[in-house]
Structure 1
């Protein structure tokens, strides 16, 4: 079993590396490909990567990704680049005879107007939120392609739909980062810059009202679950990998947990002139629980503290 991980040097790829190293399975060989290995928007480069590594299995993580504001301003780029990447990877995997491909989607692909909690059966029930329709439609089409490869060739190509992911090795670049790494980076700068200003007088700004609700999964938990999907989940139908519904938190609660991890003594305020995006995306993990009823997710506050500590310890190397 030779596993190729596309996007293998990013947040989830690094988490997979950690989990695989700890498991130490001798019968599996893993290769974590990054952007330096191949430009996956280029078919020839994608084919060359597969020809060189000869994978039997693929975990497909590579994508053009970004936070709310980056998506809002670049929907066309998100659509075109992700369509190219996904088509190149899936078609090349088919041509190379890969046994299984597990692609990573996102809960943002679900319809904007829907009932909650959302489930795997609701992916194509209506348009996604307009803030990120380019990324969402490109990701939705992976599910369509998976079914098409299965119907025509019997391929076991499937997908996972994680809720919002965070953890070590995240992308902390402003305007590109997602909410948690973006807050971690901004709070660290606020604390460390202008040391002449007492910390108790400093103000951390939360973009938006702070009221939107989100489920967050720690990257190491997601890595464990994705490995289980690769080894044991044999269905072309997507599966949501999310924490339980009761673990949903507001954006303000996220900021508070990050402030606690930094021991920040200043004030948190909400800038309501900034967009909130989708108010909620509550996902049901009932299908996952039917397979793994006893899986224990890492406590949110503990995972936030570990993520903040990693950022502080690796500040010079972090993608910021």
Structure 2
């Protein structure tokens, strides 16, 4: 137990925010007071509204998860909107945190901010080495600027503002909207729909060969808490499973088949594009600090995620 912290979590109703709520409730610490807010509580693109939110809750620490997000095609057609909204949101949160004397801010970035043309594994030193993929350059540059602002606030005012870069996150309370969901919740939703309709064939787009690192949202929440309490660098840190935990989309689909106990056939539609073959991230910096951190086994995390969706499919974000 340390000094008393009053922690404001922006974007608190999303996948990572919900995971943080679960982990914090399990801990039952007496030296921390947590406030989770969502878009209904304040428009963070508005500076005055951001100030009012901070005046209401008076946080000593902030976990900044809020962002304008969307699927591939929404990004491609609205890069300016993603750039302007996220720049405004991030700038306001950091400015008001400085004005109100917040002791520490931890912001959430994304591996999509890394250069489109790069070598693997990617690490924290490579974020600004080249332009991001053109499909989502607005979102990516806005997220990159958090790292730039963190450094500037530290240099000019001594602020401890930092950021984390998770690999692909999944878990309970995910986004299952097929237009904007990521791969795991999208496949969970589609296989669930196939089984509900009594279907015997589950078609997966692409060859199933691409490789991805996936982190369970509850593991990410535990790592977020460590960053909040213990990590005192301004430089970002990648929060990812080990490189050896990388799995193919085919392996993922087979785990989902087991978790759902689906007895039908899985078909890969090889006429559809695979996308990027791999995005391997190094967690060497994290392992330097936490060499013994145990990630939830992938099969266990997938089963828990599937079971949660089966129970909550009517009220989940579909």
> TM-score category by the smaller chain?
over 0.9
CA distance in 1, matches of 2:291, 2:242: 11
* Equivalence for 2:291: 293
* Equivalence for 1:207: 205
- Kindly tell me: are residues 91 and 275 of structure 1, through their superposed partners in 2, closer, same or farther at Cα, counting changes over 3 Å? farther
* Equivalence for 2:317: 319
The CA deviation at 1:280 is: 1.3
TM-score, length-scaled by structure 1: 0.95
- Kindly tell me: are residues 268 and 176 of structure 1, through their superposed partners in 2, closer, same or farther at Cα, counting changes over 3 Å? same
Q: 1:302 aligns with which of 297, 300, 303?
A: 300
CA distance in 2, matches of 1:295, 1:266: 37
* Equivalence for 1:32: 36
Q: 1:95 aligns with which of 99, 102, 112?
A: 99
Q: 2:259 aligns with which of 258, 261, 265?
A: 261
* Equivalence for 2:112: 108
CA distance in 1, matches of 2:277, 2:110: 16
CA distance in 1, matches of 2:303, 2:70: 23
Q: 1:13 aligns with which of 11, 17, 23?
A: 17
Of stretches 178-187 and 221-230 in structure 1, the one that deviates more from structure 2 is 178-187
CA distance in 1, matches of 2:268, 2:122: 28
- Kindly tell me: are residues 68 and 257 of structure 1, through their superposed partners in 2, closer, same or farther at Cα, counting changes over 3 Å? farther
TM-score, length-scaled by structure 2: 0.95
Structure 1 unaligned spans of 5+: none
- Kindly tell me: are residues 237 and 20 of structure 1, through their superposed partners in 2, closer, same or farther at Cα, counting changes over 3 Å? same
The CA deviation at 1:128 is: 1.4
1:143 aligns with 2:143: no
CA distance in 2, matches of 1:181, 1:151: 40
Of stretches 182-191 and 73-82 in structure 1, the one that deviates more from structure 2 is 73-82
User: In the TM superposition, what whole-angstrom CA distance separates every residue of 1:123-172 from its partner, at most 9, and x where no partner exists?
Assistant: 00011122322221111111001001111100000000000000000011
May I ask how many residue pairs the two structures share in their alignment?
A: 314
The CA deviation at 1:256 is: 1.9
User: In the TM superposition, what whole-angstrom CA distance separates every residue of 1:11-34 from its partner, at most 9, and x where no partner exists?
Assistant: 000100111111111011000001
1:284 aligns with 2:282: yes
- Kindly tell me: are residues 135 and 209 of structure 1, through their superposed partners in 2, closer, same or farther at Cα, counting changes over 3 Å? farther
Report the RMSD for the aligned CA atoms in angstroms: 1.3
CA distance in 2, matches of 1:18, 1:129: 34
Residue pair 1:68, 1:277 contacting (<8 A) in 2 also: no
- Kindly tell me: are residues 72 and 301 of structure 1, through their superposed partners in 2, closer, same or farther at Cα, counting changes over 3 Å? farther
The CA deviation at 1:317 is: 1.4
Partner SS, residue 4 of structure 1: strand
- Kindly tell me: are residues 207 and 131 of structure 1, through their superposed partners in 2, closer, same or farther at Cα, counting changes over 3 Å? farther
1:187 aligns with 2:191: yes
- Kindly tell me: are residues 277 and 66 of structure 1, through their superposed partners in 2, closer, same or farther at Cα, counting changes over 3 Å? farther
CA distance in 2, matches of 1:261, 1:186: 14
CA distance in 2, matches of 1:169, 1:187: 17
User: In the TM superposition, what whole-angstrom CA distance separates every residue of 1:274-301 from its partner, at most 9, and x where no partner exists?
Assistant: 4433221100000100000000000111
- Kindly tell me: are residues 255 and 80 of structure 1, through their superposed partners in 2, closer, same or farther at Cα, counting changes over 3 Å? farther
Partner SS, residue 164 of structure 2: strand
Partner SS, residue 251 of structure 2: helix
